[in-house]
Amino acid sequence: MSGFSDLLHKARTGFSRNFWVANIIELFERFAYYGSKAILAVFVADQVGLGPEKAGWLVGSLFNTLLYLLPILAGTVVDRYGFKKSLLACFSIFCVGYFLIGLGGLPQGKPLVDALGAEVYMILALLVTAIGGSLIKPSIVGTVARTTSADTKGLGYSIYYTLVNLGGAIGPILALQVRESVGISFVLVMSSLTSLALVIATLVFFTEPKRPADAPPPKTMPGVLADMVKVGRDFKFMSFLIIFSGFWAMFWHIFYALPFYVRDVLRFERFEIIETVDAWTIILVTVPAAAVARRLSPLAAMIVGFVLASVSWFVMGAFPTLAMTVGAIVIFAIGEATQAPRYYEYVADLAPKEQVGTYMGFAFLPVAIGTFISGATSGKLVAHYVGATVDGQFVPGPGFAHASHMWYWVGGIGVLSTVLMVAYDRLLVRRQA
């Protein structure tokens, strides 16, 4: 109990006001992001009328890929102009971007959508929003780094990641309330209004943290691009990142394919609730799963995580019920919690000492590759195994009679990734050792 009391005492007294301001801002930003994410594929497919295949490509392969790729470059902007100005720019762009996306599904936006074409309009709206989103992670994570000491840094990042997961758990539930009350388009409008509130909160409450005296000068964009070329030549590191992207290629199907399956096959209209299962499980099992994973080497922990994540999709495919779908997502989340802490540790270990920052910046590359792949595959799976809503009427796909078999394809991605991870360990890591 004394250790827990010390932890609580450190949480109450060990962090500055600005640390808590940044984290609360991040929590509300995650409400907006995950609330919109929960319904975005369904919104683009049904409300905008582009169908599941184009929705998967736009939401996953375009929008979300840019959200995780652009921060590598956006870090230079944040370093040059500061965290406060970057956050103000981020939330201002978010405010406009979310509103434009939502407008695409409202009668008031129909003339503009018709003038540009629905697909072109959504591409432009999603691009605007992605540019804004690229600034949030470098700003908030950088603030956590500057407002914590060596003694509190570990707890500070734990608080940050817990709040991120809390946003992922609560955001879709808030989206459900808005969708059922006033309509799916207004989920995006609420995300826009939340972003506007965050502009005001940043102006009033956020203070630019002091730059450490020993901090290196901000990198220029050519310098960042040169670092990217250097990292890209590291065959071992890039091989690992590409293989690991298989995990995220599985994960993003929870947002791009699962809502259609839950709603149209399992006949559970409140699909947003099912999308929160992963986040709630992560919150509950992270500590025990991390304790178990510490007994394994980083690669072994990641392989165990891959196996659990892969199994979950075969369970979902074999048992097409709502209860077993929830159970399968819980299994996936346990796999995620097992591998996640060791993943970042392993990336840091692979990095040369003078390039740790650059290598850690590439830690999100598998997320971007995974969402790009998932955006393409999820739409095709939904179109074939589930179907599409056309003019308000649901039209089953050719594989609807065996709809749950779609998850075997997702599980197959996991099996391939697991085999490649084992081969990477045996043929590359151990031979070099």
Identify the residue whose tokens are 């990336």: 347
Nearest in space to 340 (alpha carbons), one of 167, 142, 164, 173: 164
**pLDDT tier for residue 306 given thresholds of 50, 70 and 90:** very high
**What pLDDT is attached to residue 340?**
82
What's the fold here for domain 1-203? Answer: Growth Hormone; Chain: A; (1.20.1250)
Question: Is 219-433 in CATH node 1.20.1250.20?
Answer: yes
Residue 154 scores a pLDDT above 80: no
Count of CB atoms situated within 10 Å of the CB of 227: 18
Q: Which of residues 336 and 227 earns the better pLDDT score?
A: 336
Copy the structure tokens of residue 322: 């709502």
247 pLDDT above the threshold of 70: yes
pLDDT, residue 214, reads 64
Task: Tell me phi and psi for residue 23, to 5 degrees.
Answer: -70, -35
Q: What is the pLDDT of residue 336?
A: 92
The pLDDT value recorded for residue 355 is 66
User: What pLDDT does residue 294 have?
Assistant: 78
CA distance linking residue 385 with residue 272, whole number of Å: 20
Mean of the per-residue pLDDT values of the chain: 89
pLDDT higher than 60, residue 103 = yes
Q: How confident is the model at residue 88 (pLDDT cuts 50, 70, 90)?
A: very high
Range name among 82-86, 278-282, 410-414, 428-432 with the lowest pLDDT average? 428-432
Does 4 score more than 50 pLDDT? Answer: no
Residue of 241, 227, 218 whose CA lies nearest to 355: 227
What secondary structure, in 3-state letters, does the chain show? CHHHHHHHHHHHHCCCHHHHHHHHHHHHHHHHHHHHHHHHHHHHHHHCCCHHHHHHHHHHHHHHHHHHHCHHHHHHHHHHHCHHHHHHHHHHHHHHHHHHHHHCCCHHHHHHHHHHCHHHHHHHHHHHHHHHHCCHHHHHHHHHHHCCCCCCHHHHHHHHHHHHHHHHHHHHHHHHHHHHHHCCHHHHHHHHHHHHHHHHHHHHHCCCCCCCCCCCCCCCHHHHHHHHHHHHCCHHHHHHHHHHHHHHHHHCHHHHCHHHHHHHCCCCCCHHHHHCHHHHHHHHHHHHHHHHHCCCCHHHHHHHHHHHHHHHHHHHHHCCCHHHHHHHHHHHHHHHHHHHHHHHHHHHHHCCHHHHHHHHHHHHHHHHHHHHHHHHHHHHHHHHHHEEEECCEEEECCCHHHHHHHHHHHHHHHHHHHHHHHHHHHHHHHHHC
Q: Is the confidence at residue 105, as pLDDT, over 60?
A: yes
Task: Give yes or no for residue 11 having a pLDDT over 60.
Answer: no
- The candidate with the shortest Cα–Cα distance to 253, out of 202, 198, 313, 211, is 313
HSE of 160, CA atoms in CB hemisphere, 13 A: 21
Q: In which band, very low, low, confident or very high, does the pLDDT at 69 lie, cut at 50, 70 and 90?
A: confident
Task: Note the pLDDT of residue 357.
Answer: 62
- Please, which residues have CB within 8 angstroms of residue 164's CB and are 6 or more apart in sequence? 26, 30
Residue 120, pLDDT above cutoff 60:
yes
List, by residue range, all CATH 1.20.1250.20 domains of the chain. Answer: 1-203, 219-433
Which pLDDT belongs to residue 63? 95
Least confident interval from 113-122, 149-158, 194-203? 149-158
Residues 226 and 360: their CA atoms lie apart, in Å, by 16
For residues 417 and 246, the answer to whether their CB atoms sit within 8 Å is yes
User: Residue 90: pLDDT above 80?
Assistant: yes
> Does residue 57 contact residue 376 with C-beta atoms inside 8 Å?
yes
How many alpha carbons lie under 13 Å from residue 422 in its C-beta half-sphere?
Answer: 9
User: Do the Cβ atoms of 283 and 169 come closer than 8 Å?
Assistant: yes
Residue 3 has pLDDT above 60, yes or no: no
- The pLDDT-based confidence of 144 (bands split at 50, 70, 90) is confident
d(CA 342, CA 228): 23
Query: Which of 114-118, 229-233, 306-310, 331-335 comes out lowest in average pLDDT?
Result: 229-233
CA distances from 403 to 250, 266, 315, 383 (A): 17, 10, 14, 10
pLDDT recorded at residue 162 = 84
Output the pTM of the full model: 0.90
Side-chain half-sphere CA neighbours of 67 within 13 A: 22
